[in-house]
Structure 1
Amino acid sequence: MSRPLIIGLTGSIGMGKSTVAAMFEAAGVPVFDADATVRSMQGPDGELLPAIEVEFPGSTSPDGVNRDALGQHVFANPEALARLEAIIHPAVGERRQAFLLENAKAAMILFDIPLLFEKGGHEAVDTVVVVSAPAEIQRERVLARPDMTAEKFEHILSLQTPDAKKRDRADHIIDTGCTLAETEAQVARLIERLTGRAA
């Protein structure tokens, strides 16, 4: 039985990954957004709240996870972060599997996964697309975000595979250090190429 071609989309913080994922979606490619899935499961009445509260008391409320309170538990604490990931990752995996079944007839589907290489997810996809931009553009974008500091940015970068390594391991690279129209043209060309492969 044929199945969709599975595209793994990744990129470091501020590289424009969400923008590129939206371009794939607009072109008709079903997109599974790992971050959005986690946010919904940690939001009001989210299914992960009870387990997170047991593990990290005081970090949730009926409105969902209190990101600051949870951050204090796990920031710079690898052991606590591993406990949090042990709650989140299996649940996301189940959602991803359900998404795959729902879209079994699509020619291709896209998994938007920020830590694709870091967590070994690249082994479960057919082709890897890395979204990248020059470091100075990345820095400018990230530091323009509310509540972002240079220290926080450096910490996030330290947890991610360096951009150069991601580019080395990519099957395809989408460069976002250009206009939106140029990025869109790159996405359209890639979809055309992958459509041939999916067929």
Structure 2
Amino acid sequence: MRILGLTGSIGMGKSTTAKLFAEAGIPVYDADATVHKIYEGEAVPAIEAAFPGTTVDGKVDRARLSARVVHDPAAMEKLEQIVHPMLRAHHRKFLDEAERSGAPVAVVDVPLLFETGGEKRVDAVVVVTTSPETQRQRILARGTMTNEAFDSLLARQLPDAEKRQRADFVVDTSHGLDPVRAAIRDILRQVAKMPRRRA
């Protein structure tokens, strides 16, 4: 089985691309969805113990937790020490199940793939991109983020141009779904012939 790492900055169309991989019959691991899941379950006691007052009704309150850790590198590190082992266990379970199912390819959707060295754990990397104008438009249209918050988030991520340079495949989501579907078909054809590369 080949493992494809799927990544891209916020607002690039990564979630949509992940859905289209799933639509093509490919198992997809969603790192963000897994974080949501453990924040409503197994991570709650450890997070409440480390950051009292950040859970409500047995779930992590992401806004409170974010306010506590976002400007504090030591707190962020403490949070990662709690969450990362849990995420790794979910990730392994997903890959084991995909392998057992006989899937030729599995996709791991990880927003900070390059930032966390995740490209070493996959056989090829797919970067999802669009123009900076479209990206900003999509994000601001969600109504959940200001221009300033968006800029500060971008500053913490690897620039899009660098991601594209380091990618094996680039998917541009600027022109609707059909070109993305065609790109996915092409990627799946090529990946089947690629040597296994992950560590």
Aligned equivalent of 1:95, options 90, 94, 106: 90
Give, in angstroms, the shift of residue 193 of structure 1.
2.0
Match of 2:60 in 1: 65
Q: What's 2:127 paired with?
A: 130
Q: Output the CA distance in 1 between the equivalents of 2:177 and 2:79.
A: 36
Distance in structure 2 (CA, Å) of the matches to 1:20 and 1:27: 11
**Structure 1 residue 97: Cα displacement:** 0.6
Which residue pairs with 1:56 in the alignment?
A: 51
Q: Deviations over 1:74-121 (max 9, x none)?
A: 122222111111111111011111111111121110110000000111
Residue 15 of structure 2 is aligned to residue 15 of structure 1: no
The question of whether the paired residues in 2 share the 8 Å contact of 1:32 and 1:111 is answered with yes
Alignment of 1:27-66 (within 5 A): 27-43=24-40, 46-66=41-61
Contact map agreement 2:44 2:58 (CA 8 A) in 1? no
Aligned: 1:113 with 2:110: yes
* Partner amino acid, structure 2, of 1:85: E
1:76 maps to amino acid: H
Report the counterpart of residue 192 of structure 1 in structure 2: 189
Aligned counterparts of 1:159 and 1:78: Cα–Cα separation in 2: 13
Structure 1 stretches of 5 or more lacking a match?
none
Query: Could you tell me how far 1:198 is from its partner in structure 2?
Result: 7.4
Matched-pair contact (CA < 8 Å) for 2:28–2:109: yes
TM-score, normalised relative to structure 1: 0.93
What is the TM-score normalised by the length of structure 2? 0.93
CA contact (8 A) 1:107 1:198 kept: no
Contact 1:130 1:172 in 2 (8 A): yes
Alpha-carbon shift at residue 63 of structure 1 (Å): 4.5
* Number of residue pairs the alignment of both structures matches: 194
Q: What is the CA–CA distance in structure 2 between the aligned matches of 1:85 and 1:16, rounded to whole Å?
A: 26
Moved more, 56-65 or 114-123: 56-65
User: Per-residue deviation at 1:29?
Assistant: 0.7
Structure 1 vs Structure 2 CA RMSD:
1.4
Is 1:158–2:162 an aligned residue pair?
A: no
Q: Unaligned stretches of 5+ in structure 2?
A: none
Residue from 81, 84, 103 that aligns with 2:79: 84
Distance of 1:162 and 1:76 partners within structure 2:
21
CA shift digits 1:146-191 (9 cap, x unpaired)? 3211111112111111101100100100011111112221112212
